[in-house]
Structure 1
Amino acid sequence: MHQLDPALAVWLEEYNRELAELVAKGYKATSIGAREALANLTRQMVTPGPDIAWVNDDLVPGRDFTVPVRIYHPNPQRALPVLAFFHGGGHMVGSVSVYDPICRRLAAASQHVVVAADYRLAPESPYPAGLQDAAVVAKGLWQALDARGLPYARQLSLAGDSAGGALTSSLSALGQYDASLRIKRQVLIYPSVDYTLSQPSVDENGEGYLLTKARVAWYFDNYFQHAENRLLASPLHGEFSRKLPPTLLVSAGFDPLRDEAFLYADKLRAAEVEAEHLHLEGMVHAFLNLEAIVPDVCREVYQRIGVFLNR
């Protein structure tokens, strides 16, 4: 039987106790509280990260919305390949600012120009606004890099954690038939690829392990506001062809989303697409945002991502 990492177990016991006290005092889930919670947790658990030689904010214009981005160039004297990054947070929380230390680690580990997208969030901007913004960034980041005069190699990979993994895998699916989306590789970190919440791990790990089944359902109800077919929106249930990019999946044993990562990897292999799967049995969802508790595991993940992207 798999075992939760002991350090995470100690932290979760205290976290769950404090959460129960908040609920007893009348806590109600809102986008404000959820956004502050992730920001505060990441600030407490993840140090600012390595210095990157060139970091600046910019904008990528779209038809309906101009998407803010933050660009990290670890070596402005070299034409490095590009990695578009989409943060997690259930399509409701998270931001470029919250994920800044994670993006710095990705840029340093991969030696890619990282372009992090501040896509629109629900409930203010429900599906498909975030996905549209992700596509705008993936297709339009070249103009932003050109305008800055930054050297780069025109080679695009995608990465995202959780809901960012949903955006990443959705873009890769679109790229099967969109010549303007040429994706070399994708990295999916404990990704959300099944909006139906129908896999066994959703119930098995749905309570007590940071991300709960109820919280995921709340995220999705805020994201899908117009009776969309969630099966059709799920990358796991879309078409898998050899046109999909080689993929690195990172999953956690105590994550409600664990099983969908395994199923996604199986479908990639059935389609004869390269699929590398790093499964971390003792981890919970969003462990990169808990780096102070599991630093060695986080270090391993960044190292594996760097190796994969440069293969």
Structure 2
Amino acid sequence: MRPLLRPLLKAFAAPRLNMREDYQKVRRLQRHLTALPRTRYRAASWRTVPGDPGSHVPVRVFQPREKRREDVLAFFHGGGWVTGDIESYTPACATMADLTGCVVVSVDYRLAPEHPFPAGLEDCYQVVRLLLDEPGRAGLVDPGRIVLVGDSAGGNLAAAVSLLLRERGHVGVRRQILLYPVTHWDHDPATTPFASVREHGADYRLTSTEVQDYMEMYVPDPEHRKDPRVSPLMAGDLTAQPRTLVITAELDLLRDEGEAYGQALSGAGTAVRIHRVPEALHGFITLPRFSRSLRDAYEVIDEFLEEPL
């Protein structure tokens, strides 16, 4: 982002929604925007059964225009566990499929506050388990070709699914890509251990107040927010995790906690690459394909996927 634009973006960042009161308005706006005419994407709907009796998790499968890899990217969208869905992330997932040459499986997990932790996490976990147990559903021969991918709250869910797989004795996922993930519970500038929250918690795309509102809606009980399935950085044991790519945004309040998680995984013996996209804002994975930040990130993602298993 050009330095001359920063003051302008800060000025527009001042008036903010109260997410605890206005999350329904955000969802309606997202539905309205996704209803606008746009290019048709090569996608097919598919449904699977999660752990909760009688419920289903909608899953959308995106085929790339040119399939260059056998990997399947299991994608968990962002939105603070409260907003976002398959529809609003359809352009981003279509771009992901085309730029990586991989099939992308987008998971429409349940949202808070109607479905607080661990509902959304369990939905994501069940979809990954089904891909591991029945890889043919996504055109896989080797379930080891599944790559977990998530942005923001979705990055949090990807990391938590990896921890759950190890905890519950399941193996198979060898790689994960965490895009500016939430990895810690404290985003109060007065108490946070991360400088990026203090530096960017009131600026640009996302504020510390919004993140705290999202966290309170997702995990109403403050004691549970330190659970590693909510705050992966709080995990006492980070061994046996998938090879990891962490991508952060320079001007994002979540920057430091994402990089700290990558460093913690590396310290526990996991092969990790950490890449900070310069001048990037939170949420850049949803930008148009000509975006410099998006191109930067996909160059690194492409290199990561090219590495031998």
TM range (shorter): 0.7 to 0.9
Q: CA offset at residue 247 of structure 1?
A: 0.8
Structure 2 match to 1:214: 209
1:226-305 equivalences in 2 (<5 Å): 226-232=221-227, 233-291=230-288, 295-305=291-301
Mapped contact 2:59–2:105 kept (Cα < 8 A): yes
> Structure 1 CA distance, aligned partners of 2:200 and 2:35?
25
* TM-superposed deviation, 1:141: 3.2
Corresponding residue of 1:55: 43
CA distance in 2, matches of 1:70, 1:175: 22
What's the secondary structure of 1:30's corresponding residue?
Answer: helix
Cα separation, 2, equivalents of 1:277 and 1:223: 27
Structure-2 residue corresponding to 1:188: 178
- TM-score scaled by structure 2? 0.84
CA distance in 1, matches of 2:63, 2:133: 15
> How far off is 1:145 after superposition?
6.1
Give the 3-state SS of the residue equivalent to 1:265 in structure 2.
Answer: helix
- Indicate conservation of the 8 Å contact 2:246/2:258, yes or no: yes
Instruction: State the partner residue of 2:103.
Output: 113
Give 1:34's match in structure 2, choosing from 26, 40, 59.
26
The alpha-carbon deviation at position 94 of structure 1 amounts to 0.5
Q: Distance in 2 between matches of 1:140 and 1:28?
A: 33
1:120-156 deviations in whole A, cap 9, x for unaligned?
A: 00111111111010101111136776457x4554221
Quote how far apart the aligned CAs of 1:236 are: 1.0
CA distance in 1, matches of 2:33, 2:2: 19
SS for the counterpart of 1:247 is: strand
Separation in structure 2 between the aligned mates of residue 123 and residue 234 of structure 1, nearest angstrom: 18
Given that 1:73 and 1:114 are in contact with CA atoms closer than 8 Å, whether structure 2 keeps it comes out as yes
56-65 or 115-124, which deviates more: 56-65
Question: Which protein has greater RCO, CA pairs closer than 8 Å, 6+ apart?
Answer: 1
Query: Residue 180 of structure 1 aligns to which amino acid in structure 2?
Result: H
Consecutive unaligned residues of structure 2, counting only runs of 5 or more, are none
1:258, 1:61 → 2: CA distance?
Answer: 34
Residue 91 of structure 1 contacts residue 163 of structure 1 at CA under 8 Å; is this kept in 2? yes
| Matched ranges for 1:91-102 at <5 A | 91-102=81-92
How many residues were matched structurally?
Answer: 297
Task: Tell me: CA distance 1:228–1:281, structure 2 relative to 1, closer, same or farther (3 Å).
Answer: same
TM-score scaled to structure 1, two decimals?
0.83
C-alpha distance in structure 2 between counterparts of 1:296 and 1:97, whole Å: 24
Q: Look up the SS of the partner of 1:172 in the other structure.
A: helix
2:165 aligned residue: 175
Q: Give the secondary structure class of the aligned counterpart of 2:164.
A: helix
Matches within 5 A, 1:150-169: 150=139, 152-154=141-143, 155-169=145-159
Structure 1, unpaired ranges of 5+:
none
